[in-house]
Amino acid sequence: MFVDEAKIFVKGGRGGNGCVSFLREKYRPFGGPDGGDGGKGGDVILRADGSIHTLIDLTYHPHIRSRNGTHGRGKNQYGKDASDRVLMVPPGTVVKDLEGNVLADLVQPGQSYVAAKGGRGGRGNARFKSPTQRAPSHAEPGEEGEERWLLLELKLLADVGLLGLPNAGKSSLTARISAARPKVASYPFTTLTPQLGLVEADGDRRFVVADLPGIVAGASRGRGLGLRFLRHVERTKILVQVIDMASPFTTSPIEDYSCVNEELVSYGAELSAKPRIIAANKMDLREAQVNLASYREWLEQQGHALYPISALTGEGITSLVEAVDNLLRKAGG
């Protein structure tokens, strides 16, 4: 199951208590204080791991506490520091506080963020010995670790984002150009979660494409899959807008393009400024061919390259993949 949001509670371990002890050995009548310090509590650390692709584990187990440090002992024996609690999250995880402030953005595998620091261990009475206080009889307790609630949001890391209205053919296109097998059906909203596919281009070139849930009017305000869809677009380098040229769900391809573009502009984050290609899909149908002849000039005037394709028959797919790869090169991908 793909889960891209989680709310978790993290708490660092408590530090161990310092020890009150006095040396008691034969032939050493004035051994003095020898209480050791307590050990440090363990931190809670979030670390990006490329083998993790979802936040589902943290959704089912949202309360994470690290271990406590051990107490100090006599003969100046320090308590052991607790080991840290390391939580693996997918690359692309954004860590926020409850007010929405971004605390960390774990993009690269291996990146870490200390979500909650462990408490400092208390000092033993040996630490308080001085010329004026030869036999201190007090020690410090260990400090409590940090605790707080955090919001985790996953923004997929993909080179290319496929976007369009429901039933435009994004899933069919993903299945055609990669080994991914998203759900394909003749009704809208067959894709409810993003799907990733690896596309082989010319030579040794490869790029990752994300089949994103269909967008609807008002998505930038949370309608439909709304913000959960648009959040994943932020990470992509370029966009491929798939338009159903024979769609019974829209009045015209112009409205299809305009609806998606308006939502990108409304969402912000410069989504509408990303390099984009228009894939005019379902060209195996006569209605699509008629619409392409009528609307081609207007679509090309939007400043994006237009590629007629059929995800069903494979028509125009090779040219589209080459164009996407070339645009990725220019975008630094």
**For range 143-149, the mean pLDDT:** 96
**For range 31-50, the mean pLDDT:** 94
Does residue 4 carry a pLDDT above 90? no
- How large is the C-alpha radius of gyration of the chain? 29
Q: List C-alpha distances in Å: 309 to 312, 314, 320.
A: 9, 7, 8
Q: What letter would DSSP give residue 312?
A: T
Domain ranges of the chain: 1-154, 160-330
* Reported confidence tier of residue 17, pLDDT bands at 50, 70, 90: very high
More confident residue, 300 or 248: 300
**For range 89-96, the mean pLDDT:** 92
**% the chain with pLDDT above 90:** 44
Does residue 19 carry a pLDDT above 80? yes
Does residue 329 carry a pLDDT above 50? yes
Fold type of domain 1-154: Spo0b-associated Gtp-binding Protein; Chain: A, (2.70.210)
**For range 120-126, the mean pLDDT:** 95
Q: Check: CB of residue 12 under 8 Å from CB of residue 236.
A: no
Give Cβ neighbours of residue 321 (< 8 Å, ≥ 6 apart): 177, 199, 201
Does residue 180 carry a pLDDT above 70? no
Output the CA torsion sign for 247, 252, 258, 259: negative
Give Cβ neighbours of residue 26 (< 8 Å, ≥ 6 apart): none
Q: Which two tokens stand for residue 21?
A: 């002890």
User: Can you give the pLDDT at residue 67?
Assistant: 96
Q: How many CB atoms lie within 10 A of CB 36?
A: 25
User: Can you give the pLDDT at residue 24?
Assistant: 83
How far apart CA 265 and CA 208 sit, in angstroms, is 24
* Reported confidence tier of residue 88, pLDDT bands at 50, 70, 90: very high
Q: Is 330 helix (H, G, I), strand (E, B) or coil?
A: helix
Q: Which two tokens stand for residue 243?
A: 């338009």
Report residue 110 CA to chain centroid gap.
14
* Reported confidence tier of residue 185, pLDDT bands at 50, 70, 90: very low
User: Can you give the pLDDT at residue 205?
Assistant: 81
Q: Which two tokens stand for residue 235?
A: 């990470």
Does residue 193 carry a pLDDT above 80? no
Q: Which CATH architecture has domain 160-330?
A: 3-Layer(aba) Sandwich (3.40)
Same fold, 1-154 and 160-330: no
How far apart CA 129 and CA 291 sit, in angstroms, is 89
Q: Which two tokens stand for residue 239?
A: 């966009």
User: Can you give the pLDDT at residue 161?
Assistant: 86
Q: Is 148 helix (H, G, I), strand (E, B) or coil?
A: strand
Q: List C-alpha distances in Å: 156 to 59, 82, 159, 183, 194.
A: 18, 34, 10, 19, 8
Q: 68-82, 174-188, 234-248, 256-270 — which one is most confidently predicted on average? A: 68-82
How far apart CA 57 and CA 54 sit, in angstroms, is 8
Angle between helices 286-300 and 253-267 in degrees, nearest 10: 50
